[in-house]
Amino acid sequence: MRYKAQQIPSNKNAFLLIELHIFINLLITFALAVYSEDEFPATDAIYYFSGVLGADDVVTIDNQEIFDTKRISAGSNSKKIERFAVLDNDTTETSSEYLPVAETEALFDALKTTTVLTEDEIACSIVSGLRENIPYSFYGYTVKAVTGADIAPSMTQLVKSGPKIIRNININPDDPEDYLDEEVVQSCQSYYNDSLLQYSLHKNGVVDTLCIPNNALPLDATKC
């Protein structure tokens, strides 16, 4: 089974895993957030990068945004949570319709996402790093809260099916043809910018480690 995110049409390429529960909003603030221009992003906003992952595994970032808006960096966008339409005014944390990840601490501790990584998974530093830096846990818990499926999210699948090139265009106002390609290294032992996960998650969804284990990057990330 492949669990996919939903695109918000009114917000260009922003995307969220959406449900009628306040808990999901809290998860997404962290799970799909990318760092803003500030050192610490606000917790009342959704952060995302513009651009989409193309069939050639390239994400294009238009630096014209810097010149047009006088922002510090290109591609980084945000939207206040309060600006999103309320899907269910009657749903609160105390409502019977409010669905937490697990009803008890014991059930929470037994979830696959909560379970500690194996030695082989820890040896793949991308996986251990993403678990420490929130995405691993929140992707897994969001899938559980939205669909009810108990999975350990495959970070290696997300990385392998993610962008291989970040192409920065309009980097020189005097020469529109100038561009800069940044190669994204996909290796268990390399640094990986977790902000790039949004592109793979949006295009390909996430799968369980039962399908694609987290001990090595797969040769084929399209199965399941």
pLDDT in tens, 27-53: 444 444 433 344 566 778 887 777 889
Separation CA 45–CA 78 (nearest Å): 6
Read off the pLDDT of each residue in 55-84 and give the average, rounded to a whole number: 76
Whether 99 is in a domain gets the answer yes
Question: What is the pTM (predicted TM-score) of this model?
Answer: 0.73
Whether 87 is in a domain gets the answer yes
**Side chain identity at residue 54, one-letter code:** G
Sole residue written with tokens 């992003």: 41
Whether 159 is in a domain gets the answer yes
Whether 220 is in a domain gets the answer no
Going by C-alpha positions, the residue among 84, 74, 105 that lies closest to residue 167 is 74
Residue 136 pLDDT greater than 70, yes or no: yes
What is the tally of structural domains in the chain?
1
Whether 199 is in a domain gets the answer yes
Quick one: pLDDT at residue 7?
37
Whether 125 is in a domain gets the answer yes
**Side chain identity at residue 163, one-letter code:** P
E strands within 35-164?
45-49, 58-62, 76-80
Whether 215 is in a domain gets the answer no
Separation CA 216–CA 62 (nearest Å): 33
Q: Which range marks the domain in which residue 45 is found?
A: 6-204
Whether 217 is in a domain gets the answer no
| Signed CA dihedral, 37, 39, 41, 47: sign only | positive
Separation CA 162–CA 179 (nearest Å): 21
Quick one: pLDDT at residue 170?
86
Separation CA 125–CA 159 (nearest Å): 12
